Structure 1
Amino acid sequence: MTKLNWGLIGGGEGSQIGPAHRLGASVDGLFQLAAGALDADAEKGRVYARSLGIAEDRAYGDWQEMLAAEKTRSDKVDLVTIATPNATHFEITKSFLEGGFHVLCEKPMTMTIEEGEEIVKISRRTGKKCAVNFGYSGFSLVRQMREMIAAGELGEVRLVKAEFAHGFHADAADADNPRVRWRYDPAAAGVSAVLADAGIHALHMACFVTGQEVSTVSADFASTIASRDLEDDAMINFRMDGGAVGRLWTSAVAVGRMHGLSLQVFGEKGGLSWQQEHPNQLHYTPLNGRTQIIERGAADLYNAAQKASRVTIGHSEGMPLAFANIYCDLAEMIHADKAAGSSDGAAFLFPSSEDGLRSMASVYAAVKSAHASGAWQDAVPALLK
């Protein structure tokens, strides 16, 4: 299979997320890093791009230069990843979709519901896909959960419990650290901090594995450090369109918690439990039965889980390989698009612009609820009703 040309915006030297994207895109040999605008400092970005093997004429100073140049090339990039600060996502995503490129955008896709609706409309109009990097949905056993639930092994899903709680912003003395401060500044982060930054990963995962969407939410927000304008802890009750009840706790002040992403699903015939810090094991308990441990890489997993597993059983696979599964899905979609054909249904498990819009609508509904003492709010964006 011919390698696809890949472009990266942001994710430069010292970036938290850039290395995971570069590893994820390259590990299966499906993409080659052909172009980049990697830093807000144009010259620094060019130097770093060249150090990664990007040709000098495709080591761009900014995304506008990259867009203008790539549109005219016969070997233009097939996919552009946007790993820039949140407030820039909409403008860059919109411009590249309209320029004829498929896009993988870091979450949140946009800062507002209206922007999210516009991205969905542009993607539909141009036929260019906008995927959103809810990358944890790429883990093999998360996809196994999805397949087990779809196959009816849990029966009707009754309850979902999701968490994404860490303690890395718990030190009040760290309040002026610029790497922390922007996350609680409405001008930079938008209407929400920890929910929009971390909680929406867990919320998307709840939807991804159950096949249901969030319909209404009730929220309680807390800013436990007085200098913060936005929440650093949140509890969200939600109800789903298939009848499931959901509970989400997300926090940045849970001292002693590391990553803290986990998901439990309880149905009429059994329950499932998965933790991202122990990604090789999925716990399954059938009704009135003993708890079983499903191992990643086992021979009897569903196909979607098998496809998402590379390393032999008993060895750990981590976040970059989960990201790699998103890139694999996108590569299959792009090749199918070029051939005007079709591909395995598992290729289209990547989170879409519709998922990005739904997540932002849930954030806004939760913010509204928190300001109204937890009153239930509609979380379905108007475009998707």
Structure 2
Amino acid sequence: MTRLKWGMIGGGEGSQIGPAHRISASLDGHFQLTAAALDIDPERGKSYAVQLGVAEDRAYGNWQEMLAGERDRPDRLDLVTIATPNATHFEISRAFLEAGFHVLCEKPLTMTADEAEQIVAITSETGRICAVNYGYSGYPLVRQMRAMVAEGELGRIRLIKAEFAHGFHADAEEADNPRIRWRYDPEQAGTSAVFADAGIHAFHMACFVAGQTPTELSADFASMVGDRQLEDDAMINIRLSDGALCRLWTSAIAVGRMHGLTLQVFGEKGGLSWQQQHPEQLHWTPLNGRTQILERGDAALSPQAVRASRIPIGHAEGMPVAFANIYHDLAEVLRAKKLGSAADPLALDYPTALDGLWSMRAIEAAAKSAKSGGAWVGM
């Protein structure tokens, strides 16, 4: 199997997200890191790219150099991952999509819904892929939940309870730490802090599992530490297209919560419960029945979950493998495009620019609702 040529922008040495992408992209042998612009410091970025095995002539000082250097190569890149600061995502994604590259962008896709609409339009016009790394949707048992809902095992979905709450920004003495402060600065973070940063993963997962789109929401934002301009805690109610109601709590001040991404789905015929910190098990309770534990890796799970499992049952997988499922999906779709054939339908669950657009609409609607005392805002 010939590996696909992969480029990366951002995610340099010391980055939090960079190693996760590199591990994930290489896990199945689908991608080879071929070109990179990894750091805001050009020389440091080029040096680190070479250390990672990138040829010197494809180790770039910035994304503009990378675009110019890669645009007309006969051995051009198959996929470009963008893992730069949030405010740069739109400009870089647009430039590479318009130049004919397929893109995987870290979330948020853009800083505004208008920008996200432009990206969706470009993908429609060019036929290029723009995926968004809502990587938690790659967990096998999250895909199991989606499959069970789609097959009608829960009946009509009535209620979803979604959480992404941690306590890493609860220390008032750390409020001015530059690595934390920027998240609550509207000029750098936009209209929302913790909902846009963490809660949006829970929002995407709720819509992904339910197979529904949001119609309106009501939000309450709170800033509890120091003089933060943006929220560090939020409670959001979301009405979905087929009648389900989602209750979403997200927080950065929940002391004792380490990660806190959880999802519970309640339907007419039963309920499901999953936690990212215990991703190997899914609790399933049929109506009037006993709670069962579904184990990741069990061959009796849905084809979606079986396809997403890499390690035998009883051995823990984790976040990089969930991210790897996004890359695995993209590899199958990109190869199908090259061959002019149809991709495996099971490979089509990766988050797209449209998911990024819905997320930006949700962020803007939540900020508007919070400023209006929790008024319901349409999406």
State whether TM-score is above 0.5.
yes
Counterpart of 2:271 in structure 1 is 271
Does 1:208 find its partner at 2:208?
Answer: yes
Once superposed, what is the RMSD of the aligned Cα atoms? 0.6
Superposition map of 1:63-102 within 5 A? 63-102=63-102
Q: CA deviation at 1:177?
A: 1.1
Cα distance between partner residues in 2 of 1:127 and 1:179: 37
Does 1:283 find its partner at 2:276?
Answer: no
Q: CA deviation at 1:176?
A: 1.5
SS in 2 for 1:279: strand
TM-score, normalisation: structure 2: 0.99
Does 1:375 find its partner at 2:338?
Answer: no
Q: CA deviation at 1:374?
A: 0.3
CA deviations over 1:139-182 (Å, ceiling 9, x no partner): 00000000001000000000000000000000111112111111
Q: CA deviation at 1:21?
A: 0.3
In the alignment of these two chains, the number of paired residues is 379
The AA in structure 2 aligned to 1:156 is R
Is the Cα–Cα contact under 8 Å of residues 175 and 226 in structure 2 kept in the other structure?
no
CA deviations over 1:298-350 (Å, ceiling 9, x no partner): 01011110110001101111110000000000001100111110121111110
Is the Cα–Cα contact under 8 Å of residues 93 and 105 in structure 2 kept in the other structure?
yes
The AA in structure 2 aligned to 1:16 is Q
SS in 2 for 1:219: strand
Cα distance between partner residues in 2 of 1:68 and 1:370: 43
Superposition map of 1:279-318 within 5 A? 279-318=279-318
CA deviations over 1:76-112 (Å, ceiling 9, x no partner): 1100000000000000000000010000000000000
Runs (5+) with no aligned partner, structure 2: none
Is the Cα–Cα contact under 8 Å of residues 235 and 250 in structure 2 kept in the other structure?
yes
Counterpart of 2:259 in structure 1 is 259
Counterpart of 2:17 in structure 1 is 17
Cα distance between partner residues in 2 of 1:136 and 1:129: 19
Q: CA deviation at 1:130?
A: 0.4
Counterpart of 1:218 in structure 2 is 218
Aligned-residue sequence identity (percent) comes to 68
Cα distance between partner residues in 1 of 2:311 and 2:234: 36
TM-score, normalisation: structure 1: 0.98
Counterpart of 1:331 in structure 2 is 331
Runs (5+) with no aligned partner, structure 1: 380-385
Cα distance between partner residues in 1 of 2:181 and 2:51: 31
SS in 1 for 2:119: helix
CA deviations over 1:218-274 (Å, ceiling 9, x no partner): 000000013211000000001000100110000000000000000000000000000
Counterpart of 1:116 in structure 2 is 116
Which stretch of the first structure deviates more once superposed, 172-181 or 55-64? 172-181
The AA in structure 2 aligned to 1:84 is T
Is the Cα–Cα contact under 8 Å of residues 138 and 326 in structure 2 kept in the other structure?
yes
